Structure formats: C-alpha cells, structure tokens
Amino acid sequence: MQQVTIERLGHKGDGIAAGPIFVPATLPGEVVEGVVENGIMAAPKIVTPSDDRVKAPCRHAKSCGGCQLQHASDAFASAWKTDVVARALEAQGLKTEIRACLTSPPGSRRRASFSAKRTKKGALAGFHRKGSDIVVETPDCQLVSPKIAASLPLVEELAVLGASRKGELSVLVTESLSGLDISVTGGKPVDSPLREALGALGRKYDLARITWDDEALTRLPPVQRFGVADVTPPPGAFLQATPQGEAALLASVREALGPVKHVADLFAGCGTFALPIAQDARVHAVEGDKAMTKALDLGWRNAQGLKHVTHEARDLFRNPLLPDELARFDGVVIDPPRAGAEAQVEQLARCQIPRIAFVSCNPVTFARDAARLVASGYALNWVQVVDQFRWSTHVELAAELEFKG
C-alpha cells in the first residue's frame, strides 16, 4: 500500500500524484492510498476527500466508462474546464477574457452511441465498462434525454435481430423532431427477412428512420431545426450534442460576427450555424461531405424568410479557400473537427476579413490556430467555454477574433 496526494487532474480526468502516479476518480488535494502497479493506482481508498467531492448522481458511475467526472462538484468541473482552455491559450502566449463555462443540464444529450451484444437469454445493451470492451447496462443513464434512455429495449431487439453471437453492434440513437433516428453498424448483412423485421420494429417504436450500414428505411424524415429551417441530416451526420450547447455556441457566433452582410461558414455541416445566420446575412456554406451540403440546401430552400445561402462540397484540409475567394466576405464562421484547421487558418491569416467566429472542440488546436491569426493582425477579444459533455473531460469553446491590422 502506498499513500499519495493528488496534485492535479490529467487531460483524461485521472488524478495525478508525484511520480507520476495516475489515480482514477480522484480530485486535487485528496490523500489516497492503494497498490501502485505500472504507475497506476487502480483501486484507491480516499483517506482525505476534497471539499469538491460529491456523490455520483448515476448509480453506474463506478462501472460505466461514459463519464469521468461524476465525483466532482459542478463548480469544480466548470472551473477545471475553464482552466484547460486558459492553459492551452497560455502555452501559445495568448491572453484574453475567458467567460464562465456554460454547462448543459443532466438528461439533455440528444444523441448516444450504444453498444449491444447477443446473449443466451437475448441481448445486452449499454456503454462499455471503463477500460474494457465489456458492455454495461445503463437503464437509467442520467446524461442522455429521457427518450434516448428509454430506447435501450429497442437497441436490444436490434441486437437480437442482426448481431452475431461473437460480434458487437454499434447503435447510434439520435432524437429528432419526428422520432428517433437509428443508425446501426457492425451487424449482419441486410436481407429480405431482416429488412422486413426492421420495418416492423420501426412501426412498433414509432421511429423516424433506421439505417443499417448503408441502407436507410425511412418512415418519417428525421428533422432537426436550425433557426427557422427544418433539415433532414444524412445518417450519422454531425450534430451538436445538446440543444442548450448548440444555443450557447450559436449565440456566441452571432455576437462574434456582429452586423455582417456576407458570411463564409467553413466546416458547415448540415447548417447548424449557416441557416440561423441566414436570417440576417447572406451565407456561403462549405463542407466536405456532399450529403450534408445537400441536406443544408434543401433545408434552406424549404424555409421562409432566409437570405441567400450557397453551398460547396470541398475538403478544406486539402483545398482551403484562398484569399481571393475569401475577399468577398465580411465575416467567417469556422468550426473544424478536433484536428483544427491549420491549412484554412493559414489562408485566413493572409486576409483582412473583419470578424471571425471560431468554434472548437479542442482547446489545444484552437490555441495553435488562434495564435497564427493573432500574429497576422487579429485580436482575440474573448473566449466562451461551453460544456455540452457534462461529467466528461471534453471541452468546447467559441471565440471572437477581430482584425486590427
């Protein structure tokens, strides 16, 4: 047995003591003891708890790998995520106003990726146990919306219908305005009996759509609303995790842009930002996935009262918009994946677009990209921290960059 004091949290949420020794489910300042093997204290006993330690709200917290910070108070988690952003900026020599973290409430996640396996008695569905491929049942998950939580029996039926005895089914469940949108991978090939059974299951659970690998069975278009536009995303398309998080990011984007007239929305997805912005400005939406740009375009064409929205399917990593293409815009929204947008930011740095609204799910790559823009004459006016992934280590943000010359 060894006794240590937790000094800080690592980026995966584990406590770190001198050594380093990694200790899961601990908080800074706590004194813990246990057996250390290969630098890990896997089963710590809390000797002196932190004032920020709370009882986990979910009874599955010790076994389920979906959440990492349920043992921490909301105030601690928000402060820690804000500090993650601050340290990323500091590493690039950036200083700015960092606004208090906006955290989505429990039970607000509108999408979940469940794992399911067939068993001798039927099927088992839930999330993976921490650090393993074992599926843990989570019948009353506190993170997802009630409709998503209630879909586990459906997920189990899908496994019975189409999972092999040794394989694992991955079932992405998304809440839409017209019913649940289900996307299944890892199952057996679709044949006529399975297709018929899936149709019956869709009627039984009043589903909007079931997609099995690449084949979609649609009863009703699974609609997502962006501003005043109704959009039917392609199966598995990117979607902000919670309505509250999406609203916080959109409000920040609107503030960052100000009264612009013509906006380029880069990495636009299905129109999360482009379509609401089109209520006030013309928009050119650029996204690498053609199915997403098609969905965005249909949403715009069927909406009322929006200004002109054009779209372009383009790989912005390999083929970023160049300065002469960007010159016609007075505002840019950019929302890249975790890798950031180094190639596109390099081109933006060569322009003098008045305002950039930058959305990011990775503070480290954001800080790198923001530093390049600041070096070219932009001011980083503020950063808004947004926590859509409550009880996890995931951090998102939105920021305003203004060209000062």
Active-site annotation, residues: 361
| Pairwise CA distance, residues 349 & 178, whole Å | 42
Contacts of 340 (CB under 8 A, 6+ apart): 360, 362, 365, 366, 368, 369
> CA Rg, the chain, in Å?
23
Contacts of 127 (CB under 8 A, 6+ apart): 64, 65, 66, 114, 115, 135, 136, 138, 141
